[in-house]
Structure 1
């Protein structure tokens, strides 16, 4: 018989948090900017998406996923692409400094 003890558990457990997301039934355009969107329009869309994230019961899991996967697009866990990149950079700088 094959030993499966070292294999990962069911994937549904890893992604189950998504079923509880405040964004689940909303239009993805709220969280992902269209090509060419700039300035105040982009800031307004991001602020609206972040307001939805602020009410989300799984914001921490979402943010953790986006940071660990280095999700390149969209608002995840209340953070924009730029905020996630800056967070990853600052965390790396702190690790190097210590």
Structure 2
């Protein structure tokens, strides 16, 4: 599998192709699921743990979760669950 470092060396058009190719194979796109579960409420108190857990369960079954996470990291995605990680979990990655 290609890593972020290797992908960054490719021409931009190839990077886009690699990053978008996974979308159609994503588990979240292939099952009937409300996309809102990937964007739990962001308010003080309970941050929608049920939604977070439901989204993570789908991500953990997904065969392209690594690509999904790579895109979120590359784009510095600030919201939602991508590749099985919340925004705060992604910020803690090295």
Which bin holds the TM-score, normalised by the shorter protein? 0.7 to 0.9
| Structure 2 counterpart SS, 1:76 | coil
CA RMSD in angstroms comes to 2.3
Q: Pick the aligned partner of 2:23 from 7, 18, 27.
A: 18
Between the aligned partners of 1:16 and 1:9, the Cα distance in structure 2 is: 10
When the two structures are aligned, how many residues end up with a matched partner?
Answer: 82
TM-score, normalising length: structure 1: 0.70
Which runs of 5 or more residues in structure 2 are unaligned? 1-10
Larger radius of gyration: 1
Between the aligned partners of 2:35 and 2:24, the Cα distance in structure 1 is: 15
Between the aligned partners of 1:52 and 1:80, the Cα distance in structure 2 is: 13
Which runs of 5 or more residues in structure 1 are unaligned? 1-5, 92-98
Structure 1: which 4+ aligned runs deviate by more than 6 Å? none
